[in-house]
C-alpha cells in the first residue's frame, strides 16, 4: 500500500464503512455496503428497491486533490470532471442505457455515489468462458469455435448494441475497454438479453467509468471509441479477438438507432471512419 | 408507538431525522401563514405529499440539504427551508417552495425535522407537531405516501417528458433523486 495514499474526507470515512477496491490514475473507487442516505436496516414500510439494488452495495468514486497540479487548476478540473461524469451517468440512465445508477455528487470534493454492479468484467467473463470451452474440447478443436459462437456471441452482440445506444445519443465513452464493461445477472429472466443455446441466461452488459466521456456528434470520435475497444480485445483476448470484434460491431450496427432511416446512414459513416482510423493507428507507416 | 419515522442518514450519523405524515389536515393555511411570518415554533419542513413519491425521495432532499450545509452553502435561511428547496430541481427558491411546500389548500402534509444538534428537542417533536397540525397522523411508509401522490404534479414539478415512466416507484424515485442531487449543476 503506497504511503502516499490520498485520504477521503474524514467526515465521510468516519461515518461509513468504506473499502478501497480500485485505484486508477485519476480516482479511487470505494465500496460501501451502506447507502449514503437510506439507512439500513430499513425502517418498516420502506421498500428497498425504491433507490437501488441494496444487496450489491454502493460505490463511492473519489477524485482526490493532485498535489503536483497547481491548486486552483486542480480544484477546477476535479469539479468539472466529477460533474461531467455525474451528469452523463444520469443522462444515460434517463435514456434507458444500462449504466450504474447515479445517486449523489459532491463536485467540490470530487465525490460521486453510484450503484455497485455485482458481476465480472467482460474481460474476465470471456476468459472464464474460454477456459470452459477449452476444458470441454481441448485446444485447437474445431468445435471450440462453434461453442464460442453459441455462448459468447449473443453476449457480444448485446455489448455492441449497448454501445450503439450510447453513440446514438452522441456520447462517446473515451475509455472503452473490456474492463469497463461489467456483466450483471439479468434480473428479468433472460427476456431482454435472451438465452444462449445452452439456455443459460445471458448476463446483461453494464458500461461503467464515464470519467473520460464526452458529448460528440462526430462519426470520427465514435469510430475512435470503437477502435479503442477493438485494440483492447486484441490485447487481452489475442486468439479470438477477430470474431469477438466482428460480433461486437455486428451488434453495434444492428442496434444503432434501432433501424431508423437516418441511423442507417449514420452508422455506415461511422464504420467508414473506423476503417480509416484502423489504417491510421499506431505503428502504421503511412509512407510509401 | 411513535407516530412518525425517526432515523439517521448513514453518512450523517450525528444528525437525527424525523419524518411525519398527516392527513385530513384542516389548518394548512394557518400553518403556512405562521411559516411565512417566521414563527420559530414552526421550524419544520412542511411538504405537500402530492409531490412526493416515496420516503427515499424525502431522504434525498434531506441529504442534499445536509451536504450543502456541511459545505457552507445554504441558499435559504434555515435547514428546514433548505430541505424543501432541495426537493426542487431548479435554483428558483420561491418557485420551489411554492411547488413543494405546504399550500393553503393542502389537506395532507409531510413534515421533516432535522436535528443536527442532538441536544435539541428530539423528544418533543411529535407532541409539538400534534399541537401545530390539526390532522390525523399516519405511519410514514412508501405505501401511505404513494396513496397521496399525484403523478401529474410530480411530472410537472420535475419537468419530466412523457417518455419517462413514473409507474415504477423505484425508477421514478431514482429519476427525482438524481434531479435533486444535480440541482444547480445540470
CA distance A224 to A58: 31
CA distance B31 to B88: 21
At residue A187, the pLDDT reads: 55
Residue B166 has pLDDT above 90, yes or no: no
Cα–Cα distance between B137 and B23 in angstroms, integer?
A: 7
Is the bond leading into A220 cis (omega within 30 degrees of zero)?
no
- Residue pLDDT, tens place only, B47-97: 999 999 999 999 999 999 999 999 888 999 999 999 999 999 899 999 999
Q: How many residues does chain B have?
A: 186
Q: Is the dihedral of CA B79, B85, B89, B94 positive or negative?
A: negative
| One pLDDT digit (tens) per residue for chain A, 288 residues | 455 678 899 889 999 999 999 998 889 999 999 999 999 877 777 775 566 566 789 999 999 999 899 999 999 999 999 999 999 999 999 999 999 999 999 999 999 999 999 999 999 999 998 888 877 765 555 555 566 678 899 999 999 999 999 999 999 999 999 999 999 987 544 344 444 544 557 799 999 999 999 999 999 999 999 999 999 999 999 999 999 999 999 999 999 987 677 888 899 999 999 999 999 876 666 665
Contact flag A16-B11 (C-beta cutoff 8 Å): yes
DSSP output for chain A: --TTPPPPPHHHHHHS--EEEEE-SS-EEEEESS-SSS-SSPPTT--GGGT--GGG-EEEEE----TTS-HHHHHHHHHHHHHHHHHHHHHHHHTT---PPEEEEETTTTEEEEEPP-S-BHHHHHHHHHHHHHHHH-TT-HHHHHHHHHHHHHHHHHHHHHHHHHHHTTEE-S---TTSEEEE--SSSSTTT-B-TT-PBPPEEEE---TT-EE---HHHHHHHHHHHHHHHHHHSTTTHHHHHHHHHHHHHHHGGGG-HHHHHHHHHHHHHHHHHHHHSTT-----
Distance from C-alpha of A243 to C-alpha of B3, rounded to nearest angstrom: 63
Phi and psi based region of residue A188 (left: phi greater than 0; alpha: psi -120 to 50; beta: remaining) = beta
Residue among A35, A50, A105 minimizing CB distance to B54: A50
The answer to whether residue A56 neighbours chain B at the CB level (below 8 Å) is: no
Integer Cα distance of B19 and B5 in angstroms: 5
Interface confidence, given as ipTM, is 0.93
- Beta bridge partners of residue A170, listed in sequence order: none
Distance CA A62, CA A32 (A): 13
Q: Is the dihedral of CA A127, A280, A161, A229 positive or negative?
A: positive
B164 contacts A106? CB cut-off 8 A: no
Q: What is the structure's pLDDT at A188?
A: 47
Question: In DSSP terms, which residues pair with B114 in a beta bridge?
Answer: B17
Burial (0-12, 13-18, 19+ Cβ within 10 Å), B96: buried
A141 is catalytic: no
> A94 and B9 in contact by Cβ < 8 A?
no
> Which of B9, B70, B139 is nearest residue A37 as measured by Cβ atoms?
B9
Instruction: Name the pTM for this structure.
Output: 0.91
User: Which residues from A are below 8 Å from B12, CB to CB?
Assistant: 15
CA of A82: how far to CAs of A130, A154, B83, B126, B157, in Å? Answer: 37, 34, 24, 40, 26
Across the range B142-157, mean pLDDT stands at 92
Instruction: Please tell me the distance from the alpha carbon of residue B66 to that of residue B47, in angstroms, as a whole number.
Output: 17
User: Of the listed A170, A175, A209, A221, which one is catalytic?
Assistant: A175
Is B164's CB within 8 Å of A94's CB?
yes
For A96, which residue in chain B has the nearest alpha carbon?
B164
Percent of chain B scored above 70 by pLDDT?
A: 96
Of B62, B70, B169, the CB nearest to A11: B70
- What's the pLDDT at A272? 95
- Minimal Cβ distance to B11: which of A12, A46, A83: A12
Question: Please, which residues have CB within 8 angstroms of residue A82's CB and are 6 or more apart in sequence?
Answer: A63, A105, A106, A107, A110, A111, A112
Nearest-CA distance from A90 to chain B in Å?
Answer: 7
| pLDDT for res A253 | 94
- CB pairs < 8 Å spanning A and B: 104
Distance CA A89, CA A206 (A): 12
Q: Is B69 on the interface with A (CB under 8 A)?
A: no
Q: pLDDT tens across B5-55, in order?
A: 999 999 999 999 999 999 999 999 999 999 999 898 899 999 999 999 999
B42 touches chain A (CB under 8 A): no
Amino acid at each position: 500500500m503506497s504511503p502516499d495514499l490520498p485520504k477521503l474526507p474524514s467526515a465521510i470515512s468516519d461515518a461509513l464503512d468504506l473499502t478501497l477496491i480500485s485505484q486508477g490514475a485519476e480516482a479511487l473507487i470505494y465500496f460501501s455496503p451502506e447507502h449514503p442516505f437510506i439507512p439500513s436496516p430499513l425502517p418498516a414500510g420502506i421498500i428497498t428497491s425504491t433507490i437501488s439494488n441494496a444487496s450489491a452495495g454502493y460505490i463511492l468514486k473519489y477524485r482526490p486533490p493532485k498535489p503536483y497540479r497547481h491548486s486552483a487548476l486542480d480544484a477546477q478540473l476535479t469539479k468539472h470532471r466529477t460533474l461531467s461524469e455525474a451528469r452523463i451517468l444520469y443522462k444515460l440512465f434517463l435514456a434507458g442505457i444500462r449504466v450504474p445508477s447515479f445517486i449523489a455528487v459532491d463536485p467540490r470534493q470530487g465525490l460521486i455515489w453510484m450503484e455497485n454492479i455485482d458481476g465480472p468484467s467482460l474481460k474476465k467473463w470471456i476468459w472464464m468462458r474460454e477456459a470452459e470451452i477449452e476444458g470441454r474440447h481441448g485446444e485447437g478443436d474445431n468445435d471450440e469455435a462453434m461453442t464460442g459462437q453459441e455462448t459468447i456471441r449473443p453476449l457480444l452482440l448485446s455489448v455492441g448494441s449497448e454501445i450503439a445506444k450510447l453513440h446514438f445519443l452522441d456520447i462517446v465513452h473515451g475509455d472503452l475497454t473490456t474492463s469497463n464493461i461489467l456483466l450483471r445477472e439479468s434480473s428479468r429472466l433472460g427476456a431482454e438479453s435472451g438465452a444462449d443455446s445452452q439456455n443459460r441466461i445471458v448476463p446483461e452488459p453494464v458500461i461503467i467509468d464515464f470519467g473520460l466521456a464526452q458529448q460528440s456528434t462526430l462519426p470520427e470520435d465514435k469510430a475512435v471509441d470503437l477502435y479503442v475497444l477493438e485494440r483492447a480485445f486484441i490485447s487481452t483476448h489475442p486468439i479470438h479477438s477477430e470474431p469477438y470484434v466482428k460480433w461486437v460491431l455486428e451488434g453495434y450496427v444492428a442496434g444503432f438507432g434501432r433501424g431508423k432511416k437516418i441511423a442507417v446512414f449514420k452508422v455506415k459513416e461511422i464504420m467508414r471512419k473506423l476503417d480509416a482510423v484502423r489504417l491510421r493507428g499506431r505503428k502504421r507507416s503511412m509512407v510509401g | 408507538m411513535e407516530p412518525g419515522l425517526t432515523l439517521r442518514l448513514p453518512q450523517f450519523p450525528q444528525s437525527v431525522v424525523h419524518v411525519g405524515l398527516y392527513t385530513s389536515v384542516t389548518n394548512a393555511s394557518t400553518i403556512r401563514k405562521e411559516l411565512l411570518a417566521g414563527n420559530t415554533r414552526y421550524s419544520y419542513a412542511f411538504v405537500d405529499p402530492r409531490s412526493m413519491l416515496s420516503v427515499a425521495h424525502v431522504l434525498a432532499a434531506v441529504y442534499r440539504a445536509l451536504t450543502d450545509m456541511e459545505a457552507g452553502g445554504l441558499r435559504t435561511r434555515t435547514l428546514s427551508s433548505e430541505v424543501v428547496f432541495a426537493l426542487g430541481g431548479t435554483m428558483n427558491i420561491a418557485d420551489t417552495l411554492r411547488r413543494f411546500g405546504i399550500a393553503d389548500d393542502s389537506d395532507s402534509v409531510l413534515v421533516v425535522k432535522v436535528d443536527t444538534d442532538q441536544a435539541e428537542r428530539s423528544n418533543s417533536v411529535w407532541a409539538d407537531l400534534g399541537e401545530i397540525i390539526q390532522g390525523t397522523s399516519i405511519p410514514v411508509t412508501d405505501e401511505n405516501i404513494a396513496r397521496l401522490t399525484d403523478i401529474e404534479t410530480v411530472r410537472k414539478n420535475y419537468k419530466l417528458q412523457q417518455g419517462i415512466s413514473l409507474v415504477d416507484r423505484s425508477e421514478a424515485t431514482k429519476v427525482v433523486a438524481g434531479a435533486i442531487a444535480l440541482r444547480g449543476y445540470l
